[in-house]
Structure 1
C-alpha cells in the first residue's frame, strides 16, 4: 500500500517531465526493513539528459525501477507530466527501459527486433516499416537491417536495443548502465552516440551509472546519490567545481582534502598557511582542492606553501605529483606532462600555490 505525504511539495512546471516527491522505498518489514530510498524528491526536466550517479547500493537503480514501474514506492509519489503514475504497471506508462543486458531476440533480424514492440502494440504494418527504417538511420545500422542480432558486435547490439526502445517514441527513456559491458574505447564512442541520439530525438533520458566520466561527458544535469539519498543535483560543472559535501567531492574526480580552522580571510591549514576561501562557518572545516588547481613553484618563493615531492605517476598526457606539506598533509598536483618530471624528482623541495577560488569549504 502506497502512502502519500502531503504538504510542502514544490509546484510542478511545464518543463518538468518526471517529478519524484518524498519517495521512500523499503524492502522488508519491521526492524529488518532496509530503506533503499529515503525521502527522495527530484525534478527531471523535459528533454534533458539526466544522470543518476553513485556507488553500488546507493539507490539509483531502485529509483529508476520505480520510474519504470517495476517497483512500487512505499511512500511518496512519482508524477509524469503532472499525472500520478505511482501505482501504474510498466505497460501503462509511456516509458521504455534499456538494461545492462540488451535482451534482444537472437533469432530475429535487426529490423525485426526494432519493430517488435510496435507490432505488439498493434501498429499498422506501414507505420512499423517506416518507423523501423527511421530508427535504423538514427542509429546508423541501415546496412545491417537483415542481419541476425547474434551476429553483431556489442556496440551494434547496444544500438539495436536503443533503437527498439526509441521506436514507440516514449516520453522518457530509462537507461540502466547500458555501457557497462563494452570495452573502454567503445564505451567512449557510445557516450557520444547516446548524447547525439538524445539531442536528435528530444526525448528525456534518465541514465544510471557509477562511472563519473560517463556522467560528466553526457549529462545536462547529474543527481549524485549515496545511502538512498540525493546528495546534490546540478550541472556537471556545478557538481565538479562546487561539491556540497565530502562525499560528492571524493566521488566526482580526484580531490585534495586539507583540514583546517577558519580565521579572518580564510582557513588556516595544519602547515600554518592561510588559504583564501569564502565561508560562513567557523571552527574546524575541511578544504577541497582539485589536483589541477595546484601550482608547483620554486621553493622559497614568497607566499608559497613549502612542500616536498614524494612520488610522481605518469598518465600519458598528465603527470600526478604526490607531495607532502611540512605537517605531513598529502597533496596531489596534476600537471600536463612535459619537462617538469626531470627536475621534480622525489625529495625535491618545492612551493605550492592554489588557483584563485580553487579552495572549497565543505559541509560534513
Structure 2
C-alpha cells in the first residue's frame, strides 16, 4: 500500500539545521495496522505528516498503491487523518460532522445519508446522531472523528496519537475498538504513539523509531521477545541488562559468560557481535527469585506489590540493578524479605544478546 524509500526531512539550514527523518525505508502492507512507536521528538509524527502531505520531505520517494504522491497536495492523496484533538465542528451535530467530507466532495444527499448511517452503526453512535459534539463525551468524540475520517473510504487512515486525551479505562476500550474498525473496514491504518501498550495491543507490525531513524520493524511478539538493539529492548517493556562476554556463537545461539562467572545460552542477533563484551537483555517475567545461589546473586532491596504481580528489586553483586517479576497467587504468603541475599535464575534461551 505504502512504499517509502530514502525519505529524509531536514528543518532549517546551516548550523541550526535539524534532521527529523534520516533515510527512512519502509513498506506498509494493504489492510495492515501499522504503528510508528517512539518517544517524543523521534520523527514519528513528521513521518506521518509526510504521508499525509502536510510536510514536504527534503529527499526520497513515497508511493501509495504505486503512485508517486509527493507532488500531490493533501486533499488529492487517498488518505485521511485523525488528529490528536479530533478537530470536530462544535456547531454541527454528530451526523453532520461525519458527513462533512462527503458534502465537500459534492456527493448526492441520498448517498451521504446512507454512508453516514453506515458509519454511525460502525462506531455504535446511531442513537446520538442528532446531538451536538459538545454534548458527548471524549470517547464518543473520538468515535465521531474516526467515523468522519472513514466515511470517504480512504485507502489509508493516519492516526496521530488519537487516544492520548482519554482516561486509562476508556483508552483500553478504544484500543480494542480501533482494531475492530480496522479489521471490519479493511483500510490500512498507520498509527502514531509513544505508548508501548497501545502498540503491542493493536498492531500487526510496529516500527520502533529513535532520532529520526527506524531501528526495528516486526510483529508485537517479535519486537518484544527479540529486540535487536538496547533502545528497542529498553523502550518496549521492562528489561534487565547484564554485562557478558561471548564464549562462542553457533547459528542463532550464543554461549555467554556472565559477570558472576556462570555461563548460559542466549539468542544471538543476526549481524551482531560474535566475540567480546556484549549486553544481555532479560525480561523480568522470565526470571525467578531463589534463596539459593544461582546464575547471579545480590541483595533484595525492595518488594513492590502491583496486584496482578510483584516486582522484586535486587542489587546484584557488582552494583547493577535487576528486577524479578512474579505473578501473584491467592493465599500464598511472601517468601522473601528486604535485605536478604537472594539468587536470580533464568532459563537458557530467554535472554537476547543486543546489537551495539
Bin of the TM-score, shorter chain as denominator length: over 0.9
Q: Which residue of 2 aligns with 1:5?
A: none
Distance in 2 of aligned mates of 1:248 and 1:281: 20
Distance in 2 of aligned mates of 1:92 and 1:287: 48
Distance in 1 of aligned mates of 2:137 and 2:267: 51
Match of 1:233, SS state, is strand
Q: Does 1:210 align with 2:219?
A: no
- Alignment match of 2:323 (pick from 308, 332, 349): 332
Q: Does 1:61 align with 2:45?
A: yes
Distance in 1 of aligned mates of 2:124 and 2:317: 57
Distance in 2 of aligned mates of 1:341 and 1:330: 25
Q: Which residue of 2 aligns with 1:232?
A: 216
Q: CA RMSD in A?
A: 1.3
- Quote the offset at 1:295 in angstroms: 1.2
CA contact (8 A) 1:20 1:78 kept: yes
Stretch moving more, 160-169 or 319-328: 319-328
CA contact (8 A) 1:295 1:355 kept: no
- Quote the offset at 1:266 in angstroms: 1.6
Structure 2: gaps spanning 5 or more residues: 249-253
Q: Does 1:133 align with 2:117?
A: yes
Q: Which residue of 1 aligns with 2:297?
A: 306
1:1-364 to 2 correspondences below 5 Å? 17-264=1-248, 266-279=255-268, 281-300=274-293, 304-338=295-329, 342-364=334-356
Q: Which residue of 2 aligns with 1:4?
A: none
- Quote the offset at 1:341 in angstroms: 6.1
Structure 1: gaps spanning 5 or more residues: 1-16
Moved >4 Å (runs of 4+):
none
Match of 2:192, SS state, is strand
Stretch moving more, 348-357 or 222-231: 348-357
Distance in 2 of aligned mates of 1:326 and 1:341: 27
CA contact (8 A) 1:115 1:164 kept: yes
| Deviations 1:157-183 (CA, angstroms, capped at 9, x unpaired) | 000000000000000000000001000
- Quote the offset at 1:242 in angstroms: 0.4
Match of 1:352, SS state, is strand
Q: Which residue of 1 aligns with 2:251?
A: none
Give the TM-score of the pair, scaled to structure 1: 0.92
Match of 2:124, SS state, is coil
Match of 1:237, SS state, is helix
CA contact (8 A) 2:240 2:322 kept: yes
Cα 1:102–1:148 change in 2 (3 A) is same
Give the TM-score of the pair, scaled to structure 2: 0.94
CA contact (8 A) 1:297 1:304 kept: no
